[in-house]
A and B are shown apart, each in its own frame.
Chain A
Amino acid sequence: MKIKSSKKIITLTVVFGMISTIMSGCTESIGTTSEISNETTFNVSYTSNSKTTENSLKENSKDSINLHPGLIQKSTQVDFSYFDDAVFIGDSVSLKLKNYITQKHSSNPDFMGKSQFLVAGSLGTGNALWKLSDKSVHPVFNGEKMLLEDGIKICDAKKVYIMLGLNDMVPYGIDKAVENMSTLIQRIKTSSPNAIIILQSATPIAKGGEGVKLTNKALVEYNQKLLLLCEKESYFFIDIASEMKDENGYLKSNYASDSYVHFTDTACDVWINYLRTHTIY
């Protein structure tokens, strides 16, 4: 026990020291979000027009601690307890993640900590803003259907991971979907001011699954705009999509459970590993 305690103290001291060092180096730059984005500790490159490429979302590979909003960099892998105060919001893609984690609990009850889920098939940034009704698709949390902002408050979650957008490309288009996301987050922040918003990029479509409006090109543009939103409004952005796509931008075949957008268990493993190695502190 003593050894464990000592290790903890040493670890905390080292982490605190690292944070202090980075903070002191950043003091002068903290101001507008655009200033922050130019910092070396952040090292995000992106452009503000719709012609940006996928490469602009690519991160550097060095380890870093993500103290500033924007694109989350790679970091040291955290324990599952990191997700004790996390809630995951999403559609059927995230519903699969919930099911996968539930299955894992049979062999490891601590898997992904006490993470909670507000997920519903066909949920999007648009219909999440609808009024609550018998026919709305708002998620059911512990047996009660509720608005996302109310669910987050009840969850008492600090880290709010949101992955929405796949169900918005057809009815709303890219710009309106981003606008809806912004509105949704404002509602969440009004209800839970201390919530840390972490947007997850919308993940790609498998080969053969693209439609007229729901295309990988549209999703790349949507993700770029979400990143800009995060930079502007001081939210975090985690680029899950970058891990999921093949060299042609499709959802990797061994990650696709159908010819559309849904994940296999392998993809969930990759997703979880990415979450554990792209943390905010």
Chain B
Amino acid sequence: MMLSFYSCNKQTEKQVDLIQVMNDIENTCLTEGMMELTENDLMSYYGIVKDDVVKSVIKIDSSGIKADEIVMIEAKDLDTVKIIEEKLNQRLKQKANEARNYLPDEYAIIIDCQVKTYVNYVTLFVSGQVDEMYRIFKANYDKQ
């Protein structure tokens, strides 16, 4: 469920404008009914320690019944990348467990999604338009 790009080559850390990425995603994909989470919510929703994070831009479905989630986190260092990956994978697994028996359409979306890491950035996109979201993120990442 996880792809790590940093481990197979020695890429350098980049500075991605996560707010710009979110704006681009919102301009392109359906993100209706989503709410923003701040760094103060990282522990409650993901079990991620705020101090392990340089920056996070997160939106989740606010209704509690849709799977949609956009998580982009810049980790403090490469050690914390692994911790954040683990937490986001756990979140993804939990979403699948909760949806499996009563939200089949959402479950189908969730199981097609994965945590992806770009050196110091860890991302989780859960959406019917997940491929488009990653295309947008990658385009912004490669610009740097």
Interface residues of chain A, those whose CB is within 8 Å of chain B, are 92-93, 95-96, 98-100, 102-103, 105-106, 117, 120-123, 134-137, 140, 142-145, 167, 257-258, 262
Given A121-B103, A143-B90; A99-B64 close (CB under 8 Å): yes
Could you say which of A92, A95, A102, A136 contacts B97, with CB atoms under 8 Å apart? A136
- Identify which of residues 83-128 in chain B touch chain A, using a CB-to-CB cut-off of 8 Å: 87, 90-91, 93-94, 97-103
Q: Are B62 and A99 in contact (CB under 8 A)?
A: yes
Could you say which of B47, B62, B91, B93 contacts A134, with CB atoms under 8 Å apart? B93
Q: Are B35 and A103 in contact (CB under 8 A)?
A: yes
Residue in chain B with minimal CB distance to A119: B64
Interface string of B42-53 (1 = CB under 8 A from A): 011011100000
CA distance A257 to B91 in the complex (A): 24
Residue in chain A with minimal CB distance to B49: A143
CA distance A136 to B96 in the complex (A): 10
Q: Are B102 and A95 in contact (CB under 8 A)?
A: no
- Residues of B near A136 (CB, < 8 A) are 97
- Residues of B near A167 (CB, < 8 A) are 102
Residue in chain A with minimal CB distance to B94: A140
- Residues of B near A106 (CB, < 8 A) are 36, 38
- Residues of B near A99 (CB, < 8 A) are 35, 60, 62-64
Q: For the A-B complex with A136-B97, A142-B43 known, give 10 more contacts whose Cβ atoms are closer than 8 Å.
A: A92-B65, A93-B64, A102-B37, A121-B98, A122-B102, A135-B97, A135-B100, A137-B97, A144-B47, A257-B63
Could you say which of A95, A105, A140 contacts B40, with CB atoms under 8 Å apart? A105
Give the A-B contact count at a CB cut-off of 8 A. 71
- Identify which of residues 35-84 in chain B touch chain A, using a CB-to-CB cut-off of 8 Å: 35-38, 40-41, 43-44, 46-48, 60, 62-65
Among A105, A106, A135, A140, chain B packs the most CB atoms within 10 A around the CB of A140
Residue in chain B with minimal CB distance to A120: B98
Residue in chain B with minimal CB distance to A127: B101
CA distance A134 to B96 in the complex (A): 11
Can you name 22 A-B residue pairings with CB atoms under 8 Å?
A95-B64, A96-B65, A99-B60, A99-B63, A99-B64, A100-B62, A102-B41, A103-B62, A105-B40, A117-B44, A121-B65, A123-B98, A134-B93, A137-B97, A137-B98, A140-B90, A143-B43, A144-B47, A145-B94, A258-B65, A262-B64, A262-B65
Residue in chain B with minimal CB distance to A140: B94
Which are the 4 A-B pairs with shortest beta-carbon distances?
Answer: A143-B47, A121-B98, A95-B64, A96-B64
- Residues of B near A96 (CB, < 8 A) are 62-65
Determine how close the nearest CB of chain B comes to the CB of A97; give it in whole angstroms: 8
Given A142-B47, A143-B87; A262-B98 close (CB under 8 Å): no
Determine how close the nearest CB of chain B comes to the CB of A223; give it in whole angstroms: 21
- Residues of A near B40 (CB, < 8 A) are 105
- Residues of B near A92 (CB, < 8 A) are 64-65, 98
- Residues of A near B43 (CB, < 8 A) are 142-143
CA distance A134 to B103 in the complex (A): 19
Determine how close the nearest CB of chain B comes to the CB of A80; give it in whole angstroms: 16
CA distance A99 to B64 in the complex (A): 7
Residue in chain B with minimal CB distance to A123: B98
CA distance A93 to B64 in the complex (A): 7
CA distance A122 to B64 in the complex (A): 11
CA distance A45 to B77 in the complex (A): 61
Q: Are B46 and A143 in contact (CB under 8 A)?
A: yes
Given A102-B41, A103-B35; A262-B63 close (CB under 8 Å): yes
Residue in chain B with minimal CB distance to A167: B102
Could you say which of B62, B87, B93, B94 contacts A120, with CB atoms under 8 Å apart? B94
Residue in chain A with minimal CB distance to B38: A106
Residue in chain A with minimal CB distance to B47: A143
Determine how close the nearest CB of chain A comes to the CB of B116; give it in whole angstroms: 19
Residue in chain B with minimal CB distance to A143: B47
